[in-house]
Structure 1
Amino acid sequence: MTFSMKRVHAIFQKDLKDFSRNMAVSSIIFMPLILAAFYSRMGMDSIDAHYTIINMTFGMVATFVQCCLIAEEKEKNTLRGLMLSPATTSEILGGKSLLSFVLTIIIIFFSAFLVEYKPANIGVVAIAIVLSSFFYIGMGTLLGLLTKSVMEASFFVMPVIIVFSFGSFVMGFVDQYPILKVANYLPNIQLIDLATKVEVGAGFGDVLSNLGIIAAWVVVIFALTVVVYRKRMVD
């Protein structure tokens, strides 16, 4: 069966309608913009400040919105019908991820505009942000598949938002707790490290290791998501 953009677009349109009706979910996308406006007024202009907002966007938009969209389908018992439809796994997961991806990129763009973040190499940073968004959307899909309702999804996704939005602060305690060095390999820390290198003149080749680690996270999370999704198909 060939990949159908018509099916993907139909799923996207349905998600857009569901998202616009759910004010509790849709209102959270403005939180990163509010924080960006606050940082701008306070004159906070550093890589850590910029990426606190960007990583918060990943958690609150890419993961939270995606998780709630999937959980809402389960709560309404419509996900089963979607799974049994002619749409393939890639069409369903792609269509269900498209709205979260578009919203994430839009919010990051306007947040960066508010704090006047202008990376030295926008191409490299853009690739890293798009790649990172795949990880967080995959995480949201996985959590949505593991929960039964929007309320439960909102609870389960909060640790993800906290860890990946503010996880960089744990690096200040590495000297006291060496075990925290493993946090260096988290995708949010890798993104900050990449952005820091870019600001001092690093090119694409200099940040391949960072991109590789983020890509590895993407592969792992999507592999887990597909496994859980197919298990749900036969439950």
Structure 2
Amino acid sequence: MMISWKRVNAILQKDFKDFSRNLAVSSVIFVPIILGAFYGRMGVESIETHFLLINMTFAMVAAFVQCCLIAEEKEKNTLRGLMLSPASTADILGGKSLLTFIMTMVVVFFTAFLAEYKPANIAIITLAVILSSFFYIALGTMLGLYSKSVLEASVIVMPVIIVFSLGSFITLVVEKYPILQVVTYLPNIQLIDLATKVEAGAGFGDVLVEFAIILGWVIAAVILTVIIFRKRMVD
């Protein structure tokens, strides 16, 4: 499916204007950065802490902001217009996701910089962060499609922020309840495992399993998002 970058850019510019006007949503992007500066001044250097901040960024920026952008379109009844326009599914979803992706990468960079996180292999970590962001953006899009307003979106996305921001703390629950072992395959946990191996000197070949699991989550989330989006087109 071909993507019209002219249409994607038009949607991007519109989203940027809408986002900048909504202070309740736009102020969220500063939370991880402020926490990153706080932890950096405290001298915290553990991988778990660094990726608590990064996973929090994914949940609060990639998922939350994306969810609110989609919900706002529905609340204003403009998403239906986009669906009925000549723009393809790829144009709409790509355009609606681009702003969130850019903001997520910028916030992750400044959060990691202020927290003084210096990965042993920046190329592997960068690739893992970019790949992980696709999952959270797709998740935010799905939740936004189910929300009727920005207020409802703010509520429905809260479990995502709680679960995916906890990071390695989830493993403490798993130790007490082995039946929950499946949660160790969540993308946020896999990202922490990947980063831990990288700090121990692992190369790309040593973290292929973690990449494969994260990629699996991304593919599943994207497919579900497209299915739900197209279902909304014919509702």
AA in 1 matched with 2:52: T
SS of 1:45's equivalent? coil
- Encode CA deviations 1:163-205: one digit per residue, 9 max, x unaligned: 0001420212333210221111000000000000000111111
**Alignment-derived partner of residue 120 in structure 1:** 120
- Give, in whole Å, the separation in 1 of the partners of 2:209 and 2:146: 31
1:25 aligns to 2:9 (yes or no): no
Identity of aligned residues (%): 69
Corresponding residue number in structure 1 for 2:211: 211
Counterparts of 1:42-57 in structure 2, within 5 Å, are 42-57=42-57
2:144 maps to what in 1? 144
Aligned to 2:168, the other structure's residue is in SS state helix
Aligned-partner residue type, residue 166 of structure 2 = F
DSSP 3-state at the match of 2:175: coil
Matches within 5 A, 1:216-227: 216-227=216-227
Match of 1:97 in 2: 97
Distance in 2 (alpha carbons) for counterparts of 1:2 and 1:195: 35
Given residue 101 of structure 2, which amino acid in structure 1 is its aligned partner? F
Runs of at least 5 residues in structure 2 that lack an aligned partner in the other structure: none
Offset of residue 98 of structure 1: 0.2
CA distance in 2, matches of 1:130, 1:167: 18
Please give the alpha-carbon distance, in whole angstroms, between the structure 1 residues aligned to 2:32 and 2:145: 25
CA contact (8 A) 1:171 1:180 kept: no
How far residue 219 of structure 1 moved from its aligned partner, in angstroms, is 0.7
Counterpart of 2:3 in structure 1 is 3
Cα displacement (A) at 1:64: 0.3
Task: Give the structure-2-normalised TM-score.
Answer: 0.98
Shift, 1:116, TM fit:
1.0
Give aligned pairs, total: 235
- Show CA shifts across 1:141-174 (max 9, x none): 0000011000000000000001000142021233
Partner of 2:231: 231
- 4+ aligned runs moved over 2 Å, structure 1: none
State the superposition RMSD in angstroms. 0.9
Indicate if the aligned counterparts of 1:190 and 1:213 stay in contact, CA closer than 8 A: yes
Aligned equivalent of 2:129 = 129
- Deviation readout 1:57-93 (Å, 9 max, x if unpaired): 0000000000000000000000000001111000100
